[in-house]
């Protein structure tokens, strides 16, 4: 509703109520001014809240991205750790096998040395 229509409506309302049209118009204008100021206050609060909400959404998105990055980093560290564990296990197995082979060769050498002593011809010396 535009201003002339509003004034006409206020005059008609004032006449219907049997009051002073000019006083009614002034009261209406004062009320409209108050409502307009209140509306501006609400609009400013809404604009502030909308901006803050947008900031919060942006911060949330940044936090989600950081969580995803840290999760990927943790997963890579875990993969590297698991790979090192596997390598350590493989090296431990190889070391154990090498120790067993060394023990077998030592035993074979001792057995051969005993066999040589046992088979050495007695020269009477």
Q: Tell me the mean pLDDT per 10 residues along the chain, length 125.
A: 67 65 70 84 94 96 97 95 91 94 94 82 64
Measured CA to CA, the distance from residue 9 to residue 31 in angstroms comes to 14
Domain boundaries, given as residue ranges, for the chain = 3-119
State the pTM of this model. 0.48
Do 32 and 6 touch, CB atoms closer than 8 A? yes
Helical pair 21-119 and 3-17, crossing angle rounded to 10 deg: 120
Give the pLDDT confidence score for residue 1 in this predicted structure: 58
Confidence at residue 32, expressed as pLDDT on a 0 to 100 scale: 78
- The reported pLDDT for the residue numbered 56 is 96
Question: Residue 19 has what pLDDT?
Answer: 60
């Amino acid at each position: 509703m535009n201003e002339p229509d509003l004034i006409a409506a206020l005059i008609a309302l004032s006449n219907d109520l049997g009051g002073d049209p000019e006083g009614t118009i002034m009261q209406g204008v004062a009320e409209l001014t108050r409502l307009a100021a209140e509306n501006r206050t609400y609009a400013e609060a809404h604009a502030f809240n909308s901006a803050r909400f947008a900031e919060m959404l942006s911060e949330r998105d940044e936090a989600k991205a950081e969580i995803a990055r840290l999760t990927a980093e943790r997963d890579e560290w875990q993969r590297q750790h698991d790979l090192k564990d596997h390598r350590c296990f493989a090296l431990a197995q190889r070391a154990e096998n090498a120790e067993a082979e060394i023990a077998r060769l030592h035993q074979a050498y001792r057995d051969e040395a005993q066999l040589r002593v046992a088979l050495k011809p007695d020269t009477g010396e």
